[in-house]
Amino acid sequence: MNDFLQTVDWSRAQFALTAVYHWLFVPLTLGLSVMIAIMETRYYRTGDEELKRMTKFWMRIFGINFAIGVATGIILEFEFGTNWSNYSHFVGDIFGAPLAIEGIMAFFMESTFIAVMFFGWDRVSRRFHLAATWLTAIGANLSALWILVANAWMQYPTGCTFNLDTVRNEMTSFGDVLLSPVAVDKFTHTVTSSFALAAVVVVAISAWYLLHGRERLLAKRSIALASVFGLIFSLAAALTGDRSGAVVARYQPMKLAAMEGLYDGERGAGLTVIGLLRCEESRSSNSDAFHFKIEIPKMLSVMSYRDSEAYVAGINDLLAGNPDEGIMSAGEKMRRGREAVAELERFRQARDAGDERTMEEIRRKFDPSTEEGESFLREYFAYFGYGYITSPEELVPDVPLLFYSFRVMVGVGTLMIVLFAIVWWLNRRDRLERRRWLLWIAIMAVPLAYMASQAGWIIAEVGRQPWAIQGMMPVSVAATDIGSASVATTFFIFLALFTLLLAAELRIMFKQIKIGPDKGDDKE
Amino acid sequence: MPSILVKIWRFYADGFRNMTVGRTLWLIIIVKLIVIFVVLKLLFFPDMLTGSTDAERGAQVLDMLTERNDNSL
């Protein structure tokens, strides 16, 4: 393997490492901020001091998590420039605009009001403090919106045109980028599932208090709120996840086929509930892909196209093509992509030779306002990224990783719905405290919830491979050509640093939970 | 207006002065950012796109996009 390929792999590993650590903090921030705002609203309405005490306690947990999460987020954005400079330039303001809005508006908004939240309890009016708490929650979730819009564009690039002279994509419609089906789906599914995860954490910490016979009122009230909140949003996550399947089927069919281990497309395709995949060398068709599997007949067709007889494309269809179903072969896409890249090469040669006439001729091909340009962009440049693919097999993402990640995510998500419903019911009838086994299960659900949340991102990001931008730019072209030794060294520095930070966060958080609401520090 | 600014300044100054857990968190954040932005940036990540204008940086990216089209990846 040459040094540059090693650089690409190390850069991918480094970004994945940073993203995985960052995502340990983000979902709790998103959901807990909203739950705190609800708690404080109830305090504002009733004047019940116990609710104020409860709000302040959860606010402290939120603060610890938020502070460390911010730092990892900054590193992620930093890596776009250091490790993925071609990508960063190529995506231009499409990626830059949402990130800039996130930085300027949402991040500053939440940071400003966080100060009021923590420092302002006895210094601003109750109404202003409540407003600050809600604005912090809204700011945190708006931050997520802009980041997810940028990520969604990588899954489904839309609302843009390519500028040949600056070699970057330019936004033509902010609305198309913001409201693309992938962006809407990604935001709703990520936020609802994050809310559910935060509810699991609140229920678990409260369960720990009940197991130790401490803070019983605070714990029961926290569980009352978190179990309803969790139940609502885990159900919402299931609904948005269902929509997600339909969106992936339409815009990223290879991701769906890999998630399902579906090699041959079929009408009335079944959804595999559980299964054991054979090793890679043995998998070539539906008949030899699994050792065993249990499936729900026709369900994949229903989930993908809301039609039990709809055709769902398999990996083989997407590689070899299937004219009957209107599926273009990977080979044809690669041929068209190479034509587009060849035009770029011709433009470079003309630029180097100072040949303005040829440059102007090629510029017309990239001009969407002309008939020639519109046709070239649709028929050839739309497959630009395929021009860098050397073999159709490169287009298949890691099937086992996607297949099992999907089942972990859905399986744990389903368990969460059941857990929230049981906990809510028993807590409401004041019988939860006696079910110590259930309290332990609630605590053990925390790592499961994080696992499901990470699995969701694995599906989203590994499923997009080999693309940095779907169909437009493979990761091998997106990466910066720096020495692999530098990236490998920094990977291990990050690994050590992030692990230390996680340990520090957990230590501080566990200490605060042990101390409890009263003896904890009021001023964070 | 100056009194509002003074009030805001005091609000933040008092808040930070009275922090306890927050101080540890700030320390963690600052150490991390120093490691990232100073040490790593200076030692491991040189500026790859050195042009001062979009067109200059675009020319560099164009070179890289076309060089990587040799199917040698």
Q: Give pLDDT tens digits for A32-47.
A: 999 999 999 999 999 9
| Cα B60 from chain centroid (whole Å) | 23
The per-residue pLDDT for B6 is 87
Report, as an integer, the average pLDDT of B46-59: 70
Residue with tokens 């050839």: A380
Report, as an integer, the average pLDDT of A363-382: 92
DSSP chain B: -HHHHHHHHHHHHHHHHT-SHHHHHHHHHHHHHHIIIIIIHHHT---S---SSHHHHHHHHHHHHHHTTSS--
Q: What is the CA radius of gyration of chain B?
A: 23
| Interface list for A 287-306 with B (CB within 8 A) | none
The per-residue pLDDT for A504 is 84
Residue B42 has pLDDT above 70, yes or no: no
Residue B69 has pLDDT above 70, yes or no: no
Q: Does A20 touch chain B (CB under 8 A)?
A: no
At A389, give phi and psi (nearest 5°): -85, 130
Residue A322 three-state SS: strand
Which candidate from B35, B46, B73 shows the least CB-CB separation from A5?
A: B73
Q: How confident is the model at residue B44 (pLDDT cuts 50, 70, 90)?
A: low
Closest residue in B to A481 (Cα–Cα) = B48
Report, as an integer, the average pLDDT of A354-360: 92
Strands (E), A79-127: none
Residue with the bigger pLDDT between A431 and A108: it is A431
The per-residue pLDDT for B25 is 79
Residue A522 has pLDDT above 50, yes or no: no
Residue B48 has pLDDT above 90, yes or no: no
Cβ separation B62–A4 shorter than 8 A: no
What's the DSSP call for residue A284? S
Residue A298 has pLDDT above 90, yes or no: yes
Distance from CA of B63 to the nearest CA of A (A): 7
Contact status, residue A251 vs residue A460, Cβ threshold 8 Å: no
Tens digit of pLDDT for each residue in A441-459? 999 999 999 999 999 999 9
The answer for A156, left when phi > 0, alpha when psi is -120 to 50, beta otherwise, is: beta
The per-residue pLDDT for A328 is 96
Residue with tokens 């306890």: B20
Q: How confident is the model at residue B3 (pLDDT cuts 50, 70, 90)?
A: confident
Cβ separation B45–A67 shorter than 8 A: no
CA distances from A237 to A89, A128, A192, A409 (A): 34, 32, 5, 11
The per-residue pLDDT for A510 is 92
Closest residue in B to A486 (Cα–Cα) = B44
Residue with the bigger pLDDT between A143 and A72: it is A143
Nearest-angstrom CA–CA distance, A77 and A82 = 9
Chain A residues with CB under 8 Å of B22 CB are 63, 67, 118, 523-524
Helix (H) or strand (E) holding A273: strand A271-277
Helix A484-519, helix B21-34: angle, nearest 10: 180
Residue with the bigger pLDDT between A106 and A357: it is A357
Residue A324 three-state SS: helix
Nearest-angstrom CA–CA distance, A206 and A13 = 36
Type of residue numbered A281: E
Q: Which pTM value belongs to this model? A: 0.91
Residue A69 has pLDDT above 80, yes or no: no
Sequence-distant (≥ 6) Cβ neighbours of residue A231 within 8 angstroms: A417, A420, A421, A424
Q: How confident is the model at residue A403 (pLDDT cuts 50, 70, 90)?
A: very high
The per-residue pLDDT for B39 is 66
Report, as an integer, the average pLDDT of B32-60: 70
Give the Cβ contact number of residue A391 at 10 Å: 11
Letter string b/e over residues A315-342, b meaning 16 or more CB atoms within 10 A of that residue's CB: bbbbbebbeeeebebbeebbebbbbbbe
Contacts 24+ apart (CB under 8 A), A46-53: A50/A217, A50/A218, A50/A221, A51/A221, A53/A218, A53/A517, A53/A518
Tens digit of pLDDT for each residue in A166-205? 888 989 999 999 999 999 999 999 999 999 999 999 999 9
Give the Cβ contact number of residue A444 at 10 Å: 11
Helix B54-67, helix A330-353: angle, nearest 10: 130
What does the mean pLDDT of chain B come to?
74
Chain A residues with CB under 8 Å of B25 CB are 63-64, 67-68, 508, 524
Residue with tokens 């996607």: A402
Distance from CA of B11 to the nearest CA of A (A): 7
Report, as an integer, the average pLDDT of B47-61: 72
Distance from CA of B3 to the nearest CA of A (A): 16
Give the Cβ contact number of residue A309 at 10 Å: 11
Lowest mean pLDDT among A443-447, A464-468, B63-67: B63-67
